[in-house]
Chains A and B, each alone.
Chain A
Amino acid sequence: MLKSKTFVKKTRSGGVMKIVREHYLRDDIWCGSEACSGCKQESTVLQTDACMESSLCSYPHYLVPDTNVVLHQIDVLEDPVIRNVIILQTVLQEVRHRSAPVYKRLKDVLHEKEKHFYTFTNEHHRETFIDREPGESANDRNDRAIRVAAKWYSQHLKTFECDKDGLKVVLLTNDQGNKQKAEESGLLVYKCEEYIKSLIANPELVDRLALSNDDKNEIGSSKVLFPEHLPLSRIQAGIKCGSFLQGTFRASRDNYLEATVFVQGEGDDSTEVLLQGLQNLNRAVHQDVVAVQLLPRSQWVAPSSVVLQDEGAAKDDDVEEEEEEKALRISAAEAARKPTGKVVGIIKRNWRPFCGMLNVSQIKESTRHLFTPADRRVPRIRIETRQASTLAGHRIMVAIDGWPKDSRYPNGHFVRSLGSAGEKDTEQEVLLLEHDVPHQAFSQAVLSFLPKMPWAITPEDMVRREDLRHLSVCSVDPPGCTDIDDALHCRELENGNLEVGVHIADVSHFIRPSNALDKEAASRGTTVYLCGKRIDMVPELLSSNLCSLRSNVERFAFSCIWEMNHKAEVLKTRFTKSAINSKASLTYAEAQMRIDDTNMNDEITKSLRGLNKLAKTLKRQRIDKGALTLSSLEVRFHMDSETHDPIDLQTKELMETNSMVEEFMLLANISVAQKIYDEFSECALLRKHPAPPPSNYDILLKAAKSKDVEIHTDSAKALADSLDGAKVDGFPYFNTLLRILATRCMMQAVYFCSGMDSDFHHYGLASPIYTHFTSPIRRYADIIVHRLLAVAIGADSTYPDLMDKHKQSALCNNLNYRHKMSQYAQRASVAFHTQLFFKSRGILNEEGYVLFVRKNAIIVLIPKFGLEGTVFFDTKGKTVPNLVFDEEGPTLSVEQHIFCIFDKVKVTITLDDSNVQHQKIRMSLIEPVITGVSVPAPDAEPQAKKLKLDN
């Protein structure tokens, strides 16, 4: 069975080294086809009736793509239509070398059962292995290996096929030479384009084809528009000797001819290099890693304040552009000039598929169109499609294939359509994609790690768990919550003390370290809540069923149990894995009613009352220590149950029970943080909230001063106290506004690994140590904390990654990133629904407060909707009123009127949908009346509009 074959390889690592490796050839590698009677395989992957309806191949066939086809056309291969494909080991290895993302995608496809993709280990098969011939390049050898394997397959199938219905093998290659040689040896071979075009049922697949090299030359004029990029070796040499700088390219949002390159220096110092003009930008795309060369000091410029959008038509209109570029170069004051440079080469492209819309070409028959991405920082992309008419008005995804130096725009190809613009599902998809929220359905590999249903607790499970099923535990959550991760109980002990338990869903029992399920959850990092939709971190079976601590079912929990006296002092803390049976899942309102209703005296209500009493004490203690109560308006949409359109908008109400649950969650988090830090001082996952630098408070101090209120910001405690004391007579909303402003001054709280940092303090909560333990269903950080705690109490075993502080730290970075992105996505979703709401409401007149004053605008907050909007005073095409901005106040005087922070104004709200991709809420001033600026109050006509919608 083992055939020894030694071959010699030369590699370059420092010098030339001869590497000798053994290479065994086997004759027990099977072909994987269902139709084969010769192979002794246990399971087959490739089907007998491998039918893809193609006008070129009318018989059932298997596809064998070569490396370049896989690398460039992975979008096509991923399509469900393409099935029964043989991926040769040669191809797989080459793909692995050349592109990690494509390799990952290919692997995912290989794992998908419905796709019937089979990996054939041809390099170790006795009959398909070939030696490199003298003078043959590695690439040629691989091409030959692919041909030999394809040949072997077609002969093998001919010999061993049981019912002779003519199964054939089709080689796909885009290489002309390879194709010719394959034809000579009698193989069926097609170019990828030829084959895809021949697929009868799926014309839209053609658009997904990436442009191959020879097609690219046809596009664009022969005129060279951009300077050549330097080869990587010269870039590296340049960076080493300091003549080039390496950095991340960041395009400007407002001006397509301007960008900055962020150069990370040693330690904390980093510089920004300004780039201006298409030539200097030299085909870099937002987020690429580029090498820049600084221009001589005499050519340095200042960033322009002009807003420029690339509106040029599809033809390369350079005359106009040159003028625009000239407009940029208005000589700026010497002081305002910044280091300016030009891009000399691209170190790493960071292209991803972009969302956006198609600008249909004016020429009717044209198949080339420009695509405008939703992200303004990304240039427009030229794509080829025949379905432009159907795609117009749709949100689509496009991937960039390349940017030749003679083309004004990068060339790309259509990936998929997300649906028509403005529709809720489409827009949701867009905002998920743009915020990099992984939201695909869970893969089979992930789902395979779910427990088998029906699931029940077995006696073995109970060996290491405490049985707390008899306790009257209950959960309190917002209405409609299905992923309940916490439950509480409180009871009086015989010694008069109280026993309080916080029970958290034991997610780490179901998600074992380093399996596919765990990796997926780690990469998602958090569950994302959008209006009317939830993107789960773990599959629904866990999030809404097995882990969710629903009432009257037995569930596993991780319990944190304290013994407290009536003054809410913790006497004893213990942690245990347990099994609980929640007696009730209540909403905040229901829980509040039970507490308030003096007639109810059952176990749960008593327990709730006990908890509520303790929580009040805890909260007081916490505030005494200097914890901040900040405010931000959160809005809640009332959704129509059928259309899921927002009907009403309401700011969230807070009840006593909200803070009751919160107090105990905080207490649990702090207790756990202390415990895991004591046990694992190097690798505990904690959460910190740094104190903001004093300059952050400037705006708050100025604003408060304008109302003669003094705010102290020396410490969290001082801030909390002075916020409590800040009141203005006749202005009850003042305190809330002040707290909203204070919230904006804060820093972002972050996860970190205790071994990598020394400052653990949580500023907002005034706690020396903090972590997240209480929501493992929706946050991955909590799962790690659960695992650490489980090890600390001896309930579980560790694994190497858990104890590696560098890996932990990398994980924290991902979690922080996902967390931030999910918040942005959430905000974007709220903004979109607000737009929908105002679309259905028509024009509204509302009262609001000035929150910020800017040079040319004021930002107005409307408390009723928690909506923030900008009132501009310098709209295009209107005479600009006399504006004087005073930074000290800050105040803005418009003609005669002076706006200060906290001023009450009246505005009218409309939806501006002149730009389909970027709809926004527009506000204009009604009161105070300033001639030439304010508008007369239009009639609010909500009902009429709504009727129209219903039709």
Chain B
Amino acid sequence: MNSVAALCLNIPDIKRCIQTEEDRTVTVRTLLLLSLWSCRSSSPGGAFGYVHSAADTWGVALAVRLPFIRSLRKNMAGLELLSDQGYRLDGRKAAELRKVQARMGVFAQADGSAYLEQGNTKALAVVYGPHEIRGSRSRALHDRAVINCQYSMATFSTAERKRRPHGDRKSTEMSLHLKQTFEAAVMTQLYPRSQIDIYVKILQSDGGNYSVCVNAATLAVIDAGIPMRDYVCACTVGFVDETPLADLCYAEESGGVSSLALALLPRGGQIALLQMDARLHQDHLEALIEAAMTACKGVSKVLDEVVRQHLQEVSSLTGE
């Protein structure tokens, strides 16, 4: 497990990898931590080598989205996201999470499944595997399992019913992020030449889709009995009036906040994924990441409780 230590990224390392632009604001876009395996195989060139800036591969696609984010910012200027008394739109304080409720083992047919609500964002995660590689055998890796993620949104998940075809750019991107997050957390080396499928569906969307998916999928993976290094907990944070806001809801996300999504392995404090599409002054980045980590640790506590309770229920059923 030495490599886990090597994986541990601290904030200065991240800062070094982030492009600082002419005006001293940073656009993190997406920083992905490649799976453990690729870390080990890459040259040990310090932490720098372990981080792959997805801006190279995804930069073009994401850059297109930036003006869109800006235009939103203009439209939604009408909402006061944080009142002088320190309350947010929905009555939470800055660091408070939404109410998290979860159940494991919701489907019998799948190997593992979980349903998770974070406020009004609701997601269903289902895990199959590990099993033999389906389809082309050439995808198989000789020393570890392939993780296959698929993200989708229900047609009824948003305010307006909308057909969402598979494989549109947004969901492909999200699938890739999920895949990379779980490659960093699942101990894939235990299952060489096999495949693990993770399917996540957003049933209702109210901000923080990525983090809810990660949290739900974690529970599903645990339910499937696949060993992981730690829970992967994710949370978004936004930055308003010099204050980081934890776990943004949709109104806040679209209200022109620079938001950052972070997936964390809480026990070791390792960052599995860090993503930010908006621009932010580099001085604030550290505070924001700090707040995101605290929020993720909060989520992990809830997940842990859910798992323990589930375990108790299951064991009482089997009479142990």
Contacts and interface: CB of A to CB of B under 8 A. Distances in A.
Given A110-B84, A119-B84, A22 B281 contact: no
B56 interface: no
Nearest to B99: A4
Nearest to B159: A17
A24 B91 contact: yes
Contacts of B120: 6, 20-22
B170 interface: no
Contacts of B15: none
Interface in B245-276: 249, 251
Interface residues of A, number: 30
Nearest to B98: A22
B20 to A, nearest CB: 10
Interface stretch (A289-297, A326-334, A699-707, A796-804): A796-804
Interface in A199-248: none
A803 B159 contact: no
A597 B304 CA distance: 87
Given A21-B251, A23-B90, A121-B83, A799 B159 contact: no
Nearest to A797: B24
B85 A121 contact: yes
B206 A20 contact: yes
Contacts of A121: 83, 85, 87, 91
A920 interface: no
A398 B114 CA distance: 66
Nearest to B280: A800
B40 interface: no
A25 interface: yes
A599 to B, nearest CB: 54
A19 interface: yes
Given A20-B206, A22-B119, A803-B25, A798 B85 contact: no
B92 to A, nearest CB: 6
A798 B87 contact: no
A791 interface: yes
Interface string B277-319: 0010111000000000000000000000000000000000000
Contacts of B159: 17-20
Interface string B76-91: 0000100111010111
Given A4-B99, A20-B206, A119-B84, A800 B91 contact: no
Contacts of B91: 23-26, 121, 123-124
B206 A797 contact: no
B299 to A, nearest CB: 15
A43 to B, nearest CB: 12
B89 A2 contact: no
B23 interface: yes
Which one of B87, B249, B251 has the greatest number of beta carbons of chain A within 10 Å?
A: B87
A96 interface: yes
Chain A binding site: helix, strand, loop or mixed by DSSP? mixed
Interface string A109-134: 01000000001010110000000000
Nearest to B75: A13
A513 B89 CA distance: 26
Contacts of B282: 797
A800 B23 CA distance: 7
Interface string A22-34: 1111100000000
B160 A124 contact: no
B128 to A, nearest CB: 32
Interface string A287-311: 0000000000000000000000000
A798 B279 CA distance: 13
Contacts of A19: 159
Nearest to B23: A803
A22 B87 contact: no
B206 A124 contact: no
A89 interface: yes
Nearest to A515: B242
A22 B23 contact: no
B96 interface: yes
Contacts of A20: 120, 159, 206
A489 B281 CA distance: 38
Interface in A70-103: 89, 96
B99 A799 contact: no
B120 to A, nearest CB: 6
A96 B206 contact: no
B95 to A, nearest CB: 13
A420 to B, nearest CB: 40
B25 A798 contact: yes
Contact of B281 (A24, A107, A797): A797
Contacts of B98: 22
Nearest to B251: A21
A798 B24 contact: yes
Contacts of B23: 683, 798, 800, 802-803
B85 A119 contact: yes
B206 to A, nearest CB: 7
A25 B282 CA distance: 35
20 contacts: A20-B159, A20-B206, A21-B89, A21-B90, A22-B98, A24-B91, A25-B91, A26-B91, A96-B80, A107-B84, A110-B84, A119-B83, A119-B84, A121-B83, A680-B22, A798-B24, A800-B279, A802-B23, A803-B23, A803-B25
Interface of A: 2, 4, 6, 17-26, 89, 96, 107, 110, 119, 121, 123-124, 680, 683, 791, 797-800, 802-803
Given A110-B84, A797-B282, 9 more contacts: A4-B119, A20-B159, A24-B92, A25-B91, A119-B85, A121-B85, A121-B91, A124-B87, A683-B23
Closest 3 CB pairs of A and B: A803-B23, A124-B91, A24-B91
